Amino acid sequence: MSWEAATIFVGGLGTLAIFSFLAKENPFYRIFEHLYIGIAAGFGIILTLKSFLWPQILQPLLGLDIQTYPDGTRSQAYEPLLLLYIVPMLFGLLYYFIFSARHSWLAKLVIGFTLGISGGAAFKGFFNGTFPQITGSFKPLLVFSEQQFDWFSSLSNIVFIATLLSVMYYFFFSFRSESRALGKVSASGRWLIMVCCGAYFGSTVMARMALLVERLQFLMHDWWRVVLGMWT
Amino acid sequence: MIGAIDRRVIYLLVLLGLSIPLLKNYSVRPAPIAAAANLYQLVEELPSANGRVALIALDYGPNLVAENGSQARVMIEHLMRRRIPVVLTALYAQAEPYLEALPQEIANRLMLEFPDQRWTYGTDWINLGYRVGGFQVLQSIAKSDNLANLLKKDARGNPLTELPIFSKVHTLKDIMLVGEFTGLVGMLDIYLQFLQTAEYRPPIVHGCTSITIPDAYIFLDSGQISGLLEGIAGAAWYSELLSKASPARAIDESRVLNTGLGVAHLVVIALMILGNLTMLWNRRRSE
Amino acid sequence: MGLEHATVGSLVLLALMIAPVLYYIHRARRGDQLYVRRIRAVDAIDEAVGRAAELGRPMSYTTSITGVGPLLYACLGILYHIGSKAALYRNKLLSPQSDPQVMAITEDVLRDAYRDQGRLSSFEPRNIQYLSDEQFAFAAGYMGLIQREQVASAFLFGSFAAESLILAEAGQQIGAMQVAGSVNIEQTAFFVCTCDYTLIGEELFAASSYLTNEPVQRGSLYGQDRAKLLIFCMIIMGVAIATYNSWATHSGSRILPTIESLVMG
Amino acid sequence: MNYRSRLLRLFTFLGGIYFFLEFVLPESFSLAWLGAPDTNITFGKFTPQISNGFITVGAMAIGLGLYNLLSIHGAKVAFRRKGWINSVALLVGLAAMMIVTSRDWAGSRQVASDTEQLVMLRNFTQAIAADEESKAPVPPVITRNAALLSALEKTVSEVRERVTSQLSTLAQDGLSPDTPQHRVLATANAELQVALTSVAQLQVALAADPASTSRHVELATALSQAAVAYRQILSTAYEQSLTKKVYNFFFIGIFSSLGTAMFSLLGFYIASAAYRAFRVRSTESALMIIAALIVMLGQIPFGMWIWEGFPELRLWILNTPSAGARRAIEIGAAVAGLVMAFRMWLSIESESFSEPKK
């Protein structure tokens, strides 16, 4: 049996193991679950080395990307500033103090540092990610195209803005309001969230089923052909 | 009183509902999707001989390959037919094998269709491989004035300065189109946020899974993306347009998949109706 | 165009949003009573913890693929609360992990929770299990784990992707009481269908201030509402400007300066 | 507040300060108003390197996950606890995948380092010409040209040998001529031979006139073409190698098929969720069901047969009400996230859970 056929065969086997969970949690599923976790961990570790730590950090740091010419001269001088990369590497090792009860506070330093990084980067993220959404919501309630009143776009914009404001109002936590009108706005906010949930549910059926259809096609065509090939 | 149907019975119903059409390879013409037609036009009008490249990001794994894979396939094929150099990369680790396999598979198919023409690595496409670091990678690409120096090597370890495609690519301005294919939460946002400078922002087109269609529409509506492929339906209609333009093109699997999905939807709708009938029946019986 | 560097307008907006938060934290610390309405799903968390204690079966808490960031920070507030109750009732709390950094932070928070209840000795690091940083290997491990442990209550908080329905359905199949919270609206739809209670969007950020009822958190939530009110009014103003521009010129060209140009420069 | 928590607050602050300043400060500014001479500082100059530094800190944590797995499952195997066979499977999978993935990595790096020889010589040729103009402190041109010639001699013969052996092994392994790989190999080999012959001619010319660098530009281009073609041959050959096939067995066969299978479980789960949860109990659930039905009917060919307006209505529901609701939720979450980020960065936290007590 060729390696390609073996790959397809074990792929089908794994798929059936996962599907067997639908009936009940069983040993066949459990063995593949653990195998999957082991393989994913092994792949993840080497990938971090292969795609980041080696090419971007270690190789330049050790000067291994410098070519020595036959006459002994070098393609580029070694950049001493690269040695600074040792600092984050040592600092990152503090994570491992989490295991010692007495020194676990050292791990807190690097944890705090990482939390700080994503904290500091959030401000630029807000203005580039969310602010265009806010300004994108400034839709005119009366829309004219070629001097003509476009009632359909106007109606859509009115519904859009009404939904946006009522759902935002629903999420106010600290405004105490007894007035029935505002109570209605908040209730309609919740209804519109439900419409949004329903719409998303409907649109995700396509994605979920897409992969199930693809998996069944794989089992019925590719995998079945290999299994038959094994018997004959 | 009809007890609730055991979930295993429902799983069986779904299994049967899907397997039957697939066994007979039954397929119908896909529904026309406006956004896919506009994207086809946009790629069709791209200038092809100016050395500028299309950056294609495959940010999907085995879990999203059915939708994003079909979309990336039809768009990369269109770019290759128009001889626009494609630079592939990914910010998602699981995309590694697709970065290698997909362009090669398309090139092979094109070479079968046009025996006298060549599509080869280095001149028609290159693979920068998976890049760790998320938004920081894009930020560095946007800021860099010498991309070959910043990105150093491609996924196969070749220095970028060696590859013909990179001879004319120096800054973000040399990327005339960015195609981002993903269904991952928040992945498109970092391309929109960080792959730009104050002077230049490459047009970004997006292939989303059907779950992220509603978000994608927010970005299409606010003009942050210039084109959209919606799930397999988008890919199936794009593929239909490609087949119209070049009749010798083999039918790809998005058409059969699209039909199988139609049947799957009908099964879900039937179950929703069944669920309500059981409830009504029980309520009337208990009165 | 993108905002590479802050414009004066953006700094002013940032200050206007942060100022009320600092002000109300100060007032809350001084002891002022700030009204904050209840969220049903937050009460359900205590209900679920109580149920697990009664049945004597373990609980599970997962932030799935949430990375290090502000959202994880919000989930840690809830984790601390649930961890303290688990320590109090001597109930097993499983916490499957998908990111080594998040695992270190989770262990750190749970250790504090057990120490603050004076039960550091019964803290079991082995219950915090690293499964995988790959989304679906994690989901496969989670499904097997909670079915084998017959979990009584399951908590799912943070940012989720497609695996949300797998995690929720796994809990639903063993009849666990599930409280979920997600910032992604796509997954909220699934949680609404499969979980007993669902926190939607920023209710997740507000949850920790309810559970801990601490001045800093309550003040921050109160101030945050003011910041959102500012954006609420900005949207109304923006829509008014857009409508006026459109009505006045019948075409859509701009007369009044838009807010966008003020902030983005 | 003991010194430890003060140190923690400092490190958290330091973590965020770079990106905050990089955002707040303009692209470049001068400190002239401080009396310093016209210094023009571009704060963001080292962003790529600093970002790499931040990513490195996070990358160091990969050992934590490994340690956790090894300790939990290692203990299970050591003490034969219940389900220890599964732990054996996990540990075997872990070890096997690490070996296979690193072998695959080494294989593709081998291809690059083999081609490196030709690339190094090309750079050397260019360096000789460039250094001569810039009068750099280097050995005289004649000795450098001599070193270049002897190195060229050795490398070119190695390349020819390697290619012929590579092509013959591939032919033995049954790579049939009509496959695209074979055709790519053939064209690459043809280009390589052309480049190598022009290199040989330039070698003869250089040997005849060892002091000149006039032909170096031509030699450099010929070496470049040779490198590109050589790389194409080696990488295509590597694709057919045993290491790559074993890697594909683990990665595509087990790893990605299990991932795809897990995702496809959702097809079953979404159906059972639809049956169980989509029941008209209140206005809220009725609205949810109607929206779901419209969207579903709008995205399948069959929906069109009932009423061709469904795709339009589906788009409207996705674009208007649900986009509005989604945007409101996203804005709310973003504001909450921004406030939380600010509190987190400046450690304005609650007293409850992140005060390192004695």
Tens-place pLDDT, residues B60-105? 986 678 789 889 999 999 999 999 999 999 998 778 778 988 998 8
pLDDT surpasses 50 at C168? yes
- Helix residue ranges per DSSP H, D240-320: 242-248, 257-277, 283-298, 301-306, 310-319
pLDDT at D352: 43
User: Which residues in chain A show pLDDT less than 70?
Assistant: none
Interchain proximity A35–D248, CB inside 8 Å: no
CA dihedral angle for residue A117, residue A118, residue A121, residue A124, rounded to 10 degrees? -170
Per-residue pLDDT, C2: 58
Asked if residue B1 has pLDDT above 50, the reply is no
Q: HSE-up of C78 (CA within 13 Å, CB side)? A: 29
In a domain, B272, yes or no: no
User: Domains along chain D?
Assistant: 3-84 (no CATH), 95-240 (1.20.120)
- In Å, how far is C63's CA from the nearest CA of chain D? 16
Confidence of residue C265 (pLDDT cuts 50, 70, 90): low
Residues of B in contact with C2 (CB under 8 A): 193-194, 196-198, 201
Q: What is the pLDDT of residues A140-170, one digit of tens each?
A: 888 887 777 888 888 999 999 999 999 999 9
B66 domain-assigned: yes
Residue B5 lies in a domain: no
Q: Is residue B81 part of a domain?
A: yes
**C-alpha–C-alpha distance, residues B255 and C132, integer Å:** 35
pLDDT computed for residue B124 by the predictor: 92
Which residues does chain C have within 8 Å of residue D337's beta carbon, measured at their own beta carbons?
A: 69-71, 183, 205
Q: What is the mean pLDDT of residues C149-163?
A: 91
**For residue B269, how many C-alpha atoms fall within 13 Å in the half-sphere facing its CB?**
22
Which residue numbers of C have CB closer than 8 Å to B's CBs?
Answer: 1-2, 4, 134-136, 159-162, 173, 184-186
Chain C residues with CB under 8 Å of D350 CB are 77, 208, 212, 214, 216-217
Which of D106, D227, D235 has its CA nearest to residue D166? D235
Q: Which residues are B207's β-sheet partners? A: B181, B229
Question: Looking up tokens 């269908």, which residue turns up?
Answer: C193
pLDDT band at C87 (very low <50, low <70, confident <90, very high): very high
- pLDDT at position C1 is 47
Q: For the whole model, what pTM was predicted?
A: 0.82
CA–CA dist B174, A103 (Å, integer): 51
Q: Is residue B157 part of a domain?
A: yes
Note whether D140 contacts A: Cβ–Cβ < 8 A: no
* Subunits with 3+ C-beta pairs closer than 8 A to C: A, B, D
Instruction: Kindly indicate the confidence band of residue C257, based on its pLDDT and cuts at 50, 70 and 90.
Output: low
* For range C117-145, the mean pLDDT: 90
Write out the DSSP string of chain C.
Answer: ---SS--HHHHHHHHHHHHHHHHHHHHHHHT--------HHHHHHHHHHHHHHHHT--EEEE-TT--SSHHHHHHHHHHHHHHHHHHHHT--EE--BS-HHHHHHHHHHHHHHHHHTT-GGG--GGGS-B--SSHHHHHHHHHHHHHHHT-SEEEEEE---TTHHHHHHHHHHTT-EEEEEES-HHHHHHHHHHSSEEEETTHHHHHHHHHH--HHHHHHHHHHHHHHHHHHHHHHHHHHHHHHHHHHHSS----SPPHHHHHH-
Nearest to D62 among A33, A45, A75 (CB): A45
pLDDT at D358: 38
pLDDT of residue C251: 57
CA gap D48, D61 in Å, rounded: 21
CATH of the domain at B137: 3.40.50
Q: What is the pLDDT of residue B63?
A: 65
Among the partner residues D23, D64, D272, nearest to C103 by beta-carbon distance:
D64
Instruction: Please identify among residues 75-104 of chain C the ones whose CB lies closer than 8 Å to any CB of chain A.
Output: 100-101, 104
3-state helix, strand, coil in chain D (%, to 5): 80, 0, 20
Q: What is the C-alpha R_g of chain D?
A: 32
**Cβ contact A193–C221 (<8 Å):** no
C104: nearest CB among A95, A196, A207: A95
Residue A203: predicted pLDDT: 83
Q: What is the CA radius of gyration of chain A?
A: 29
Amino acid A176: pLDDT? 73
Mean pLDDT on B227-250: 87
**Any C CB within 8 A of B167 CB:** no
Asked whether A129 and D334 are in contact (CB, 8 A), the reply is yes
Q: Please give the span between the terminal C-alpha atoms of chain A, in angstroms, as a whole number.
A: 12
Cβ-Cβ contacts under 8 Å, C147 against chain A: 25
Q: In angstroms, rounded to a whole number, what is the distance separating the alpha carbons of residues B259 and B244?
A: 19
d(CA B91, CA B137): 8
CA distances from B37 to A148, A150, A212, B56, D125 (A): 28, 25, 27, 19, 51
- Cβ–Cβ contact A107 with C under 8 A: yes
Write out the residue range of the structural domain in which residue B56 sits.
31-252
Provide the CATH topology of domain C40-213.
Answer: Rossmann fold (3.40.50)
**Predicted confidence (pLDDT) per residue in D62-121, tens digit:** 888 899 899 989 999 999 988 899 999 999 999 999 999 999 999 988 888 888 888 888
Q: Which residue of A has its CA nearest to C148?
A: A25
Sorted by where each begins, the domain ranges of chain C are: 8-33+218-264, 40-213
> What are the residues whose beta carbons fall under 8 Å from the beta carbon of C255, sequence distance 6 or more?
C244, C245, C248, C249
Residue B179 gets the label, from left (phi > 0), alpha (psi -120 to 50) or beta, of: beta
D345: nearest CA in chain C? Answer: C70
Q: Do D270 and A38 touch (CB under 8 A)?
A: no
Which of these ranges, A85-99, B14-28, C194-208, has the smallest mean pLDDT? B14-28
**Beta-carbon separation of D275 and B157 below 8 A:** no
Q: Find, in chain B, the residue whose alpha carbon is nearest to that of C5.
A: B198
More confident call, C241 vs B80: B80
With CB atoms and an 8 Å threshold, state whether D12 touches A112: yes
Cα(first)–Cα(last) distance of chain C, in Å? 10
- Verify whether the Cβ–Cβ distance A174 to C35 is below 8 Å: yes
Under 8 Å CB pairs connecting chains A and D tally to 406
Give per-residue pLDDT as tens, D263-295.
889 999 999 888 888 888 888 889 999 999 999
Q: Distance (Å) from the C-alpha of residue B48 to the closest C-alpha of chain A?
A: 31
pLDDT at C218: 85
Nearest chain C residue to A37 by CA: give it: C137
User: In angstroms, what separates the C-alpha of B18 from chain A's closest C-alpha?
Assistant: 7
pLDDT: which is higher, A46 or B3: A46
Among the partner residues B19, B224, B265, nearest to A205 by beta-carbon distance: B265
Residue B267 lies in a domain: no
Nearest-Cα residue of chain D relative to residue B118? D184
pLDDT for the residue D351:
52
Touching D: which chains, 3+ CB pairs < 8 A? A, B, C
| Highest-scoring range by mean pLDDT, A164-173, B191-200, C184-193 | A164-173
Does A200 contact C147 at a Cβ distance shorter than 8 Å? no
The answer to whether residue C135 neighbours chain A at the CB level (below 8 Å) is no
- Complex ipTM value: 0.80
Number of domains in chain B: 1
pLDDT of residue D38: 65
In this prediction, residues B132-142 reach a mean pLDDT of: 84
D108-128 burial, b at 16+ Cβ within 10 Å, e below that, comes to bbebbeebbbbbbbbbbbbbb
**What's residue D233's pLDDT?**
87
Judged by CB atoms closer than 8 Å, whether chains meet at B156 and D231 is answered as: yes
* CA–CA gap between residue C98 and residue C142 (Å, rounded): 10
B275/D276 touch (CB, cutoff 8 Å), yes or no = yes
Low-confidence ranges of chain D (pLDDT < 50): 352-358
Closest Cα of chain A to C213: distance in Å? 14
